[in-house]
A and B are shown apart, each in its own frame.
Chain A
Amino acid sequence: MNVKEDSKFDFVYILFKEMMRYDMSYLYHGNFSTNLTDSILSFSETCLDTIGESTKVRKKVYFIMVESLQNITRHEERIEQLDADRASYFVLQGINNGYFITSGNFIKNEAVKHIKSRIDMVNSLDPDSLKLYQQEVLESGTMSDKGGAGLGLIEMARKSGNKLKYEFSDADKTHSYFYSQIKVTSEKDSPDVDQKYDDNFINAKTTHEHLLQNKINIVYQGGFNNENVQGILTMINAAGDGNSSSFSISDKAYQAISELLKNIYLHADCFEIDADSKPGIFMLGSDKDSYQVVTGNLVKKLKSDALLAKMKDVLALDSKKIEEKYKQLMKSAAISKKQNVGAGFYLMSLISNNLIDYSLQPVSDEFDFFTFSVKVKAN
């Protein structure tokens, strides 16, 4: 295994920095099953709970997430042979004055004109006209063959009180990629802050490019604590479930993921003292025959040398020595009844046949950013 001080993990730090302005970000690129939709919804509820959001705003976010996710699954069914590049995209990002919900999916070119005119129409209406328009559709509207009545758009606009941003980009001769974003403003809104996030739509699209380039399916950035780590694990399980899923998770990969997530909330440092949850980033990607799990978190510079020494030790040992060392560490942890700091790295090496890697980047005088990656063969 090579230890290089090069830029292979730059994108992790770039994304982490990029997302630092959000309280939390959750991104998914892949195919959507009902199970996945459900666990995304319940995971988001956990996140909003952690942030301490009001019931009113939570319900609005929930509503818009359901509509967005159902739009994705409705359109997804119509695209033949979904491969990795053709997959759909979903993003939830929380900032101090609201939530951005972004979705992306392929649609047939012939649908573009219709969707565009609908959105433009809804965007052009003031709240009172929207209300009247909704009444009209409820009274007379017929269901479209995809099950939508056009009510989704109207309700999204009404519930959020904001306009829907959208973009269509050419995908191939017959398809376009459709991005849309809507913001739910929470009660503590202020116009100054709003302007600062004006580039958020472009951001969400650029981030999607990063995910595609690096073959990443899931990203979570935000606070890590015992509760939401459970949520992430449930979601990963659901993402790997069902025929149409982008990947299926082996036991080994699952074990690696749980270890790494635990590592963040047990050992990561943060800018604030005594924070309930630790800031970090988690990514899961999949290739033809392997998964890559990447985590990134802050480490106090005081601890960096020890961490580097440990990483070098793990990478230098052969698998037999790693196993011995791991058993030894577990044994002494059992005797001392203390958290077995660092044993996780040896375990990770065992699980992956030493396909681990890391980088340490300076953040400030006090902190470094530690990226750790592990590759696990699919079965």
Chain B
Amino acid sequence: MNAMILEATNTTAKLVLDPTKNIFEISGESRPENTGKYFNPVVEWLNGYQNVLYFQKSNYGKSPKVSFKFSFDYFNSTSAKYIADMLTILEKYVSNGYEAEAIWVYDAMDIDMKESGEEFAILVPKLPFTYQPIND
């Protein structure tokens, strides 16, 4: 499966979905004009990646762990809906027997951002969720 890499813009986050390097990360600021246009392909990609995980697991007995880093400076309310969708797919990986986790990276000063992560975590109880504060 091809990597999906999107550079950050003023209004959209940087995205790296790279199966070869096993890097999964979304970072920066997310307030797209058209949220669906940005996130729908991401959601589609993540759904499709399950086939890769299935293939690997059935051929090699094990699929690589998907550690997805969410490191937002800011996201708007419509992005929140899609972040929830992404986390739900990751949780589905876990339910289907693949290894996956969410790493919630936040500015140590930004307690609201940490709380947002905690609230997302409630939505996906089966997905391991870790928090990573960053000090400037």
Knowing A56-B111, A66-B31, A147-B34, the reply to whether A155 touches B119 (Cβ < 8 A) is no
A166 within 8 A of B: no
Determine, out of A3-11, A130-138, A309-317, the stretch whose residues face the partner at the interface.
A130-138
Residues of B within 8 A of A (CB): 10-11, 31, 33-36, 74, 76-78, 80-81, 84, 109-112, 119-120, 122-123
Question: B31, B112, B123: which contacts A138 (Cβ < 8 A)?
Answer: B123
Determine which residue in A55, A149, A152 has the highest number of CB atoms from chain B within 10 A of its CB, and name it.
Answer: A149
**A131 and B112 form a contact (CB under 8 A):** no
Q: How many residues of A contact B (CB 8 A)?
A: 29
- Quick one: closest A residue to B88, CB to CB? A139
Residues from chain A with a CB closer than 8 A to the CB of B34 are: 147
Knowing A135-B123, A138-B84, A147-B34, the reply to whether A152 touches B77 (Cβ < 8 A) is yes
Per CB-CB distance, the 8 closest pairs between chain A and chain B, nearest first, are A151-B77, A152-B77, A138-B84, A155-B77, A149-B81, A66-B31, A66-B76, A55-B109
- Quick one: closest A residue to B120, CB to CB? A138
CB-contacts of A31-70 with B (<8 A):
34, 38, 55-56, 59-60, 62-63, 66-67, 70
Min CB gap A332→B, angstroms:
45
- Quick one: closest A residue to B84, CB to CB? A138
**B84 and A159 form a contact (CB under 8 A):** no
- Cα distance, A156 to B77, chains bound together (Å): 9
Determine which residue in B78, B80, B111 has the highest number of CB atoms from chain A within 10 A of its CB, and name it.
Answer: B78
Knowing A66-B31, A139-B123, the reply to whether A152 touches B110 (Cβ < 8 A) is no
Residues from chain B with a CB closer than 8 A to the CB of A156 are: 77
A127 within 8 A of B: no
A242 within 8 A of B: no
**A131 and B77 form a contact (CB under 8 A):** no
Residues from chain A with a CB closer than 8 A to the CB of B123 are: 135, 138-139
Residues of A within 8 A of B (CB): 34, 38, 55-56, 59-60, 62-63, 66-67, 70, 73, 131, 134-135, 137-139, 141, 143, 147-149, 151-152, 154-156, 159
**A70 and B36 form a contact (CB under 8 A):** no
**A59 and B110 form a contact (CB under 8 A):** yes
Residues from chain A with a CB closer than 8 A to the CB of B122 are: 135
Query: How would you classify the secondary structure of chain A's contact residues: helix, strand, loop or mixed?
Result: helix
Knowing A38-B10, A55-B110, A66-B31, the reply to whether A138 touches B81 (Cβ < 8 A) is yes
Residues from chain B with a CB closer than 8 A to the CB of A149 are: 77-78, 81
Min CB gap B8→A, angstroms:
14
- Cα distance, A369 to B35, chains bound together (Å): 47
Residues from chain B with a CB closer than 8 A to the CB of A155 are: 77, 80
Residues from chain B with a CB closer than 8 A to the CB of A154 are: 77
**What 14 additional pairs, Cβ within 8 angstroms, besides A148-B77, A151-B78?**
A34-B11, A55-B110, A59-B110, A62-B74, A66-B76, A67-B77, A73-B33, A138-B123, A139-B123, A143-B36, A147-B35, A148-B78, A151-B81, A156-B77
A-B contact pairs, 26 of them (CB 8 A): A34-B11, A38-B11, A56-B109, A56-B110, A56-B111, A56-B112, A70-B76, A73-B33, A135-B119, A135-B122, A138-B120, A138-B123, A139-B123, A141-B81, A143-B35, A143-B78, A147-B34, A147-B35, A147-B78, A148-B78, A151-B78, A151-B80, A152-B77, A155-B77, A155-B80, A156-B77
